[in-house]
Homo-oligomer: A and B are copies of this chain.
């Protein structure tokens, strides 16, 4: 009697609420380009008229829009249409990774590959200005080699500079959160192993040299060594690579890293 119902293939009923409908329509309008980037969205009162719902409903829909990064707060109160930035993607990824028990190993494996790709791509198209930035980064790292926090920050920046130089926006979006999460758990490595910093600087110099010389193979080789070194350092410092990242990163650290300079992709 009941059995047939179990075998019946049905789609779950999606109870669409009004505020979700408001969100979907505004989302479509933005993706379609009907709401121009940089322009403010209509006023709440205006949206009320358009959708024939009350302000409370409109506002709840706008909150969904806000959190998805399709509108941001400009100087005034009005919300202006904008493209979701890397920071928001990173936030999303970090939340998902933390709660889904992603391990340090998981992150590292992917990051290792993407860094290599970034090196390869960067070789061909890196600009002199970007090369300068890399050189400057290395110089700063050498100067502040005894300031663990500064070293971590500069290491993150080094990798981010290479990713930027690769000129691949998809890569930038994909790698950013990995880098943030991975390096958020680096501090104990740098602080506990004196040589770690020195090895890091040496590796950075090699990678820089290879990219400058437009030698993708060498760049990839050294970057990979650098990443392997990183893992070895973590393990020597007592990290279990199969532990979920939530074990390594406290939320304060993460929040600070996330709120660092945001780069438009």
Give the interface of A toward B (CB within 8 A). 15, 19, 23, 27-28, 30-32, 37, 56, 59-61, 63-64, 66-70, 73, 83-86, 88-89, 91-93, 95-103, 105-107, 109-110, 113-114, 116-117, 121, 168-171, 173-174, 178, 251, 265
Q: For A95, list chain B residues within 8 Å (CB).
A: 27, 31, 68-70, 84
Min CB distance A202 to B, Å, is: 26
Beyond known contacts A27-B95, A61-B63, A64-B67: 14 more, CB 8 A cutoff: A19-B63, A31-B251, A56-B59, A59-B60, A63-B64, A64-B64, A64-B66, A68-B92, A69-B92, A86-B96, A89-B93, A103-B169, A106-B168, A113-B117
Of the candidates B28, B61, B109, B121, the one whose C-beta lies within 8 Å of that of A168 is B109
With A84-B96, A114-B113 as given contacts, are A169 and B251 in contact (CB-CB < 8 Å)? no
- Listed by A's residue number, 21 A-B pairs whose Cβ atoms lie within 8 Å are A19-B63, A31-B95, A31-B98, A37-B99, A63-B64, A63-B67, A64-B64, A68-B91, A69-B96, A84-B100, A86-B96, A97-B173, A100-B173, A106-B171, A109-B117, A109-B121, A109-B170, A110-B114, A110-B117, A113-B114, A113-B117
